[in-house]
Amino acid sequence: MAIQRLLITKMDGTEVIVTPNLGDSLNFERTLKNNPKWGTLQENQLKAGPFRAWSAGKREGSITETWEDFANVVADVSVAPEPAPADDDEVVAGLGLGGETTAPTI
């Protein structure tokens, strides 16, 4: 299973990619329990993804805002695009692809 990365897009166009972990999900559940006025987990399905992204950003150091400020400056949280694959045609010296065709003798 691939690790899900989330793309946070702020209102000013700034983009941040974060990687939520189990601790970020548990942080959301803990916050719900500590703030009964928020309601139940079922009532907060829309809030769960952005909260996990905020929690991951705080943990990783890429987000400085409080949750309340974050919610007011973020335009969208979505699944981040996969990083571009490495170029398989890259020639690495010593691997026989850059002109060396024989193994060294021992």
pLDDT tens, the chain, 106 aa long: 568 999 999 999 999 999 999 999 999 999 999 999 999 999 999 999 999 999 999 999 999 999 999 999 999 999 999 887 776 655 555 555 555 555 556 6
Distance CA 39, CA 33 (A): 9
Buried/exposed 3-34: b ≥16 CB within 10 Å, e otherwise: eebbebeeeeeeebbbebbeebeebbeeebee
Q: What pLDDT is stored for residue 100 in this prediction? A: 52
A 10 A CB-CB count for 57 gives 23
User: What predicted TM-score, i.e. pTM, was given to this entire model?
Assistant: 0.76
Q: What pLDDT is stored for residue 62 in this prediction? A: 97
Distance CA 19, CA 86 (A): 20
DSSP H helices, the chain, are 22-34, 45-60, 67-73
Q: What pLDDT is stored for residue 95 in this prediction? A: 56
